[in-house]
Amino acid sequence: MSAAPVPTNVPAAAGAIARLPVSLPQLAEKKRLGEPIVMVTAYDYPSAVVAEQAGVDVVLVGDSGAMTVLGYSSTVPVSIEEMLMLASAARRGLRTPLLVADLPFGSFEASDQQAIETARRFIKEAGCDAVKIEANGVAVERARALVNAGIPVMGHVGLTPQTATALGGYRAQGRTAQRALDVARDAIALQEAGCFSIVFEAIPAPVATVLMERMEVPIIGIGAGASTDGQVLVFHDLLGIRDGVGARFVKRYADIQDEMVAGVRAYAEDVRTQRYPEADHTYSIDPVEFERFRSELG
């Protein structure tokens, strides 16, 4: 479902050929044809514009934004209102990718009605095309209720950050036979509940490969090996806009934070040594007007 209006103010990539908005049937067709699906997170207008111009297929407004842009220590504290703000900003930066938003912790677990009301806000107020929920004790029930209410749902199994404490922390899942079976059951149940796609996070590659034989919907991996139908990374991780090395599955494609710090440091030095601003950075005034100004000023 891509019901949100297509923004007309989003800069297109130089030389880019106009693409139609990505739809759920297109994702299913990519799986059928074996065409890898590219997914990335975005949390505001600038990062969404980057994702648009880079030609990705799916943009996720992940609750990881709680940590990457809002400064929380985990994903748990982020509110519905904060997530709606981030999703709305991302929507304004997108023309083509499918836009999916995480339902934050505590916003869908209490009842089917709570889940539907929360999800509808992301569709109606933020213009999202779909929502994502993490596997937990009631996720399958909630996913089924959302799908029955006409709301596309992406599932999420393996490492689920919202319930990381119960899983023993931010660590790979499915590394024992029993835990691998648990992940498998979660994935199959979410598929049967009607999820159009499922994220596999931080599970052993051999486990993911076996599970792919049973998956009929597009599977997006993050730390799950190369057998999945697509991959997702956090915007700030892949561009190096963060401290530390990140999770094992992160591959850095740039070191933007280093460049940002260097740029701001150079600016600060120029200000302190009065090298900025120079004449090129100032505005002029007609000499006659300037003299009239001085005269009128007294």
Identify whether 201 is a catalytic site residue.
Answer: yes
**216: amino acid identity, one letter:** E
Q: Is 216 exposed, middle or buried (0-12, 13-18, 19+ CB in 10 A)?
A: exposed
Span 205-220, pLDDT tens digits: 999 999 999 999 999 9
Q: Show Cβ contacts of residue 180 under 8 Å, excluding neighbours closer than 6 positions.
A: 174, 203, 204, 207
Span 145-182, pLDDT tens digits: 999 999 999 999 999 877 554 445 557 888 999 999 99
pLDDT exceeds cutoff 90 at 8: no
* Segment 216-232 mean pLDDT: 97
The residue among 142, 92, 123, 85 whose CA lies nearest residue 2 is 123
- The count of other CB atoms within 10 Å of the CB of residue 191 is 20
The residue among 266, 236, 262 whose CA lies nearest residue 66 is 236
Residue 181: enclosing H or E segment and its boundaries?
A: helix 177-192
In this prediction the pTM is 0.89
At 2, is the pLDDT very low, low, confident or very high (cuts 50, 70, 90)? very low
As a whole-number percent, the residues of the chain with pLDDT over 70 amount to: 91
Q: What's the chain's average pLDDT?
A: 91
The single residue of 81, 82, 141, 201 carrying the catalytic annotation is 201
Q: Is 164 exposed, middle or buried (0-12, 13-18, 19+ CB in 10 A)?
A: middle
pLDDT exceeds cutoff 80 at 10: no
Q: Helix H segments across the chain?
A: 24-33, 45-54, 65-68, 80-92, 112-124, 139-148, 177-192, 205-212, 235-238, 256-272, 287-297
The pair of structure tokens assigned to 47 is 């990062």
